[in-house]
Structure 1
Amino acid sequence: MLHARDRQVPALSHPRLQLHAVDFAALPALPPVDDVYITLGTTIAAAGSQSAFRAVDYDAVLATARAARATGATRCGVVTAMGANAHSRIFYNRIKGEVERDLQALGFTTLVIARPSLMIGDRQALQQAIRPAESLSIQLFRWLNPIIPANYRARPGADIARALVRAVQTGPAGLRVLSGRALQAT
């Protein structure tokens, strides 16, 4: 059984999928899990402030990971971003780097971090607002994709998810960072 938790329940349905809307500031106990995949994220513009962004991209991610560890999860896959660095002067990259650093301290046997440059996909299906600047960037990335180096190419969210699951389930124990070429569809 797959349990998915989000701030809103997306309009998805599958007999082996249970969707739960939760308040990540008051995360309820999780059922026992073996693996946890964390794909939470927003933008500062969508969040409305740096503190609201941090509440999602740092606090909610760590709360989910801690809750999963408490129920027995030994493997974790998480999506952060290209440029994640806990010492960055860029706020977005610093928060992504801080969450990566703090996830490593939780003691997962396997921790796989996916660092895509730009994720593309159908945000409306997930009840997310259309972001005009992002839509323009995606069109530009699609047009330029053949000449952009592999590590910087936009990636469909489904490709990132497949690569993350494969790396968590079949890769060696320890820390592994997936970026660029490793996130391409195979």
Structure 2
Amino acid sequence: MLKKLFGKNVTEESFVSPVTGRVVPLEEVPDPVFAEKMMGDGVAIEPSDQTIVSPIDAEVVQVFETKHAIGLKTNMGLELLVHIGLDTVNLKGEGFETFVKVGDKVSAGDRLVRFEKPVIEAKAKSSITPVIVTNFEESDFTLEALFPEQAIAGETQIFQVKKK
């Protein structure tokens, strides 16, 4: 389990899967913005469940109006984007329910969003969910991605970030 570290000097953080499913490299996401890591580095999950949980102890810094993505800031100052599906912004919130607001402190495993996978799969490009660290420079941090066959939301580690 992850320790509560708010306010401490942290040099390494471990991230668990925000949704149950199969972890895949970002390069396999059928969208060049994610596949080419234009927004940052991380992994993606092909969800088999419909609940997104926090992958780490963090502060909620953004809840998109369309509810398709959540921004988190970790103890180490990393900014994390959990983006549910591809082209889901066009759903304008249909099929999504959020459980947090900006400023909330969350722990790994806390529920963030529930989504209707059938709605996303019928009306958007994909339900694949990129989980991306958006603000680190490769010279300051390293990201080690893990690819378990099946990840359990709030439990299975999917990547680790360390300060160099």
TM-score bracket for the superposition, by shorter chain length: under 0.3
Q: Larger relative CO (CA 8 A, sep 6+): 1 or 2?
A: 2
The alignment's TM-score, normalised by the length of structure 2, stands at 0.26
The alignment's TM-score, normalised by the length of structure 1, stands at 0.24
Relative to its length, the structure with more strand (as a share) is 2
Relative to its length, the structure with more helix (as a share) is 1
